[in-house]
Chains A and B, each alone.
Chain A
Amino acid sequence: EDKVVQSPLSLVVHEGDTVTLNCSYEVTNFRSLLWYKQEKKAPTFLFMLTSSGIEKKSGRLSSILDKKELSSILNITATQTGDSAIYLCAVGLNAGGTSYGKLTFGQGTILTVHP
């Protein structure tokens, strides 16, 4: 059975701290790994990673995939209270040589940033 595991499950930091969130996976026919941020509503897309070792950056957020270790990390530098959210990792699979849309999600990391 495909499995995605995130750690830590929750994290409390102060503004300005740097955090690293982890995601590991055991799936067949890996295609991509995605990170989402979920506040009180829908998950919003952050990054999609398909190639190992290539960092993706967006402002204070960055992420990298390690296919050898079957894992990814999401870094947030200079955290702000607005970064408080659940961060979800998901893995997309290949099927028959084409992208298979189903995503398998981890349980999420709850990040709380105090002023």
Chain B
Amino acid sequence: DTGVSQDPRHKITKRGQNVTFRCDPISEHNRLYWYRQTLGQGPEFLTYFQNEAQLEKSRLLSDRFSAERPKGSFSTLEIQRTEQGDSAMYLCASSLRAGTSTSGNTEAFFGQGTRLTVV
């Protein structure tokens, strides 16, 4: 499978615990994004990387959240001291930066998501 891969698919954790999610993008994609989706809403942007550089973080991303993409390939999203309000689907997506695609296509492709439940 050459799509975007996320691990784990489901995570149940107790309030106050730390959790870490992993995303493996499509191999030639230089951009990687994290989104959060709650029931009945569209995905909300959290942060994105171009190669290993984190170029933007949303105001939604409190200081309990941190994301890394150390070698410009896979990325991790860590949530410290989880709260019940963190329960959501965490989606990762990847794309090519415009100008790097011979086909001109820069659309983002999504992984299956990690569903987090904080109890």
Contacts and interface: CB of A to CB of B under 8 A. Distances in A.
A107 interface: yes
Contacts of A92: 106
Interface string B42-85: 11110010100000100000000000000000000000000000
Contacts, number: 65
Give chain B's interface secondary structure class: loop
B110 A90 contact: no
A34 B99 CA distance: 18
Interface residues of A, number: 24
Q: How large is the interface on B (under 10, 10 to 19, 20 to 34, 35 or more residues)?
A: 20 to 34
Contacts of B33: 101-103
A42 B95 contact: no
A106 B97 contact: no
Nearest to B95: A101
A92 B42 CA distance: 14
Contacts of A102: 33, 45, 48, 56
Nearest to B99: A98
Instruction: Identify whether the interface residues of A are mostly helix, strand, loop, or mixed.
Output: strand
Interface string B84-113: 000000010001011100000111111111
A53 to B, nearest CB: 19
Interface of A: 4, 6, 32, 34, 36, 41-45, 48, 88, 90, 92, 98-99, 101-108
Interface of B: 4, 31, 33, 35, 40-45, 48, 50, 56, 91, 95, 97-99, 105-113
